[in-house]
Amino acid sequence: MKLRAIAMFVLAIGISSAAQAAGEIIIKFSHVVAPDTPKGQAAERFKQVAEKLTKGKVKVEVYPNSQLYKDREEIEALQSGAVQMLAPSLSKFGPMGAPEFQLFDLPYLFPNQETLHRVMDGDVGKKLFAKLDTKGVTGLTFWDNGFKQMSSNKPMHAAADLKGLKMRIQSSKVLNAQMKALGANPQVMAFSEVYTALQQGVVDGTENPVSNFYTQKMHEVQKHMTISNHGYLGYAVIVNKNFWDGLPADVRTSLTQAMKEATAFERDVAQKDNDDALAQVIAAKSTTVYTLTAAERADWQKVLLPIQKDFESVIGADLILSANATAAQVAKEQADAASKPAASKPAASKPAAPAKK
Ligand code: SIN
């Protein structure tokens, strides 16, 4: 642990001991992104609502920006009970023995957020959370970030433009296969180390939703971004199972309600945060933003879609089939709604991501 992390850790222990002495239940919520990201804001919203609904019985301490733990360490800390709540990205569940979560990493599987939400909130999401039970972890809900864009120091229009690039990825076998299919050289690295690695040329590029890219100031060290929407990055909010099961029932009910409110808030702000971040990246002018044409997108899809088949045995063919069926159902409903006269149309689902330059 670095000095700053040690200082935060000591401070956290100090605050928690004082609160525990006052008879409060402490929830340490650790995460790796900035406070002004969708996840960062929702963690704060959960804190506000949880403390209000439990009338001070629960105190939520939010530690953003890897202040306490980096990616892998935070999951170990949750399992050991050093922290009680996390929201790791879905790509980070493979190393803890739940490779099925890599469903959400499959390139071009999810065309829009409506499909994602139906999959997360339905049987597939339940099956995924059931996988965590034996690992000392309880899944509470899914949060969005958004669709990922590629960045590097060279323009990326054709899929072949990524050939030979060293690309930082999260610890996911699907993301590893994705970068290899593009001819790139994938490098697993903790989120907190990406800015420096880009700055020092340890890696050439990365992928992330724009809100993460901008709040980590990656636009200062990346000359090009391609709006590729080739994959998705979202989160599962998880708690230490013993801690959760041991809570008084009334407290657990209030926390469940607080999480419901935080989730509604989070899903509401995520797309807007990404739109705003893209506008900021464009305004900063240090990164050229390029949007794939339909033909270029088809080229990327041709290279990346076979990964779905390759990972059937790892993720489960049934889960992939179910996600594809949901996508088809949503597309049908959206086409039906679009063909209805304007007055009877329901509100349209937001498109996957902005297609601005
Ligand atoms: C996060 O959004 O939690 C981090 C994503 C990453 O590691 O790229």
Residue 325 has pLDDT above 90, yes or no: yes
Closest ligand 1 atom number to CA of residue 31? 3
pTM across the whole model: 0.90
Taken in order 133, 139, 142, 145, the sign of the CA dihedral is: negative
Q: How far apart are CA 241 and CA 139, in angstroms?
A: 9
Q: How far apart are CA 11 and CA 268, in angstroms?
A: 33
Give burial (CB, 10 Å; 0-12/13-18/19+) of 246: exposed
Q: At 11, give phi and psi (nearest 5°).
A: -60, -45
If one counts every other C-beta atom within 10 angstroms of the C-beta of residue 125, the result is 17
Query: Tokens for 345?
Result: 């149309």
Domain boundaries, the chain: 2-330
Pocket lined around ligand 1, Cβ cut-off 6 Å: 32-33, 89, 145, 170, 191, 208, 212
CB 68 within 8 A of CB 6: no
pLDDT digits (tens, 9 = 90+) for 125-144: 999 999 999 999 999 999 99
CB 170 within 8 A of CB 203: no
Name 147's bridge partners: 232
Antiparallel, parallel or unpaired: β 224-240 and 288-291: parallel
Contacts of residue 333, Cβ cutoff 8 Å, sequence gap at least 6: none
CB 174 within 8 A of CB 139: no
pLDDT digits (tens, 9 = 90+) for 257-275: 999 999 999 999 999 999 9
pLDDT digits (tens, 9 = 90+) for 111-128: 999 999 999 999 999 999
Q: How far apart are CA 12 and CA 323, in angstroms?
A: 41
Tell me how far the alpha carbon of residue 153 lies from the centroid of ligand 1, in angstroms: 20
What is the pLDDT, as a whole number, of residue 19? 52
Closest ligand 1 atom number to CA of residue 207? 8
pLDDT digits (tens, 9 = 90+) for 43-90: 999 999 999 999 999 999 999 999 999 998 999 999 999 999 999 999
Query: Tokens for 57?
Result: 């019985």
Antiparallel, parallel or unpaired: β 224-240 and 85-86: antiparallel
Higher-pLDDT residue of 23, 232: 232
What is the pLDDT, as a whole number, of residue 17? 52
Tell me how far the alpha carbon of residue 235 lies from the centroid of ligand 1, in angstroms: 9
CB 49 within 8 A of CB 106: no
CB 237 within 8 A of CB 141: yes
Residues 240-248, mean pLDDT to the nearest whole number = 98
Integer-rounded Cα radius of gyration of the chain: 20
Tell me how far the alpha carbon of residue 92 lies from the centroid of ligand 1, in angstroms: 9
* Chain-centroid distance, C-alpha 187: 18
**CATH dotted code for 2-330:** 3.40.190.170
| % of the chain surpassing 90 pLDDT | 88
CB 338 within 8 A of CB 197: no
Contacts of residue 128, Cβ cutoff 8 Å, sequence gap at least 6: 98, 100, 101, 103, 139, 236
